């Protein structure tokens, strides 16, 4: 999608700090990290949110991406978050999984 910031990152039209990528997904540092580790995992294909994600292979690719990234960074304790919809805090409407780590994380979240 032409106006989507994460499509532009996936297409390398705008720079990002890439941590991992393969044919179908990319992972890069969040521009406004909420913890020492804050990485976003996205599909290269534009999908607005989890509500629009139908491709089960892509679902598996995204979770596998989380495992690739955490393995690469050597982290075992981390939180994975998907915000779906404005009311849940989604601000970028290209689905992304947050990987958050490196500080104590309270549960339940606020």
Residues in touch with ligand 5GP (CB under 6 A): 5, 16, 28-32, 40, 83, 89-92
Rounded CA-CA distance 21/61 in Å is: 11
- Cα–Cα distance, 49 to 92 (Å, whole number): 9
Identify which of residues 40 and 66 has a Cβ nearer to ligand 5GP in the complex: 40
Of 50, 40, 46, the C-alpha closest to 11 is 46
What's the closest the beta carbon of residue 74 comes to ligand 5GP, in angstroms?
22
Query: Which residue's CB is nearer to ligand 5GP, number 18 or number 60?
Result: 18
Q: According to the binding rule CB under 5 A, does residue 1 interact with Zn ion? A: yes
Q: Least distance from C-beta 104 to ligand 5GP, angstroms?
A: 19
Neighbours of 60 (CB within 10 A): 10
Minimum Å gap between C-beta 84 and ligand 5GP is 9
Stretch that binds Zn ion, among 17-25, 43-51, 55-63, 64-72 (CB under 5 A): 43-51
Does the protein bind Zn ion through residue 60 (CB under 5 A)?
Answer: no
Distance CA 44, CA 94 (A): 9
Q: Are 47 and 37 in contact (CB under 8 A)?
A: no
- Catalytic residue set: 96
């Amino acid at each position: 999608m032409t106006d989507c910031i994460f499509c532009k990152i996936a297409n390398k039209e705008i720079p990002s700090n890439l941590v991992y990528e393969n044919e179908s997904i990319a992972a890069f540092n969040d521009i406004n990290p909420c913890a020492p580790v804050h990485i976003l995992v996205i599909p290269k294909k534009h999908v607005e949110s989890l509500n629009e994600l139908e491709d089960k292979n892509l679902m598996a690719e995204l979770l596998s991406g989380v495992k690739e990234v955490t393995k690469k960074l050597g982290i075992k304790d981390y939180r994975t978050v998907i915000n779906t919809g404005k009311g849940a805090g989604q601000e970028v409407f290209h689905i992304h999984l947050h990987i958050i780590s490196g500080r104590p994380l309270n549960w339940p979240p606020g």
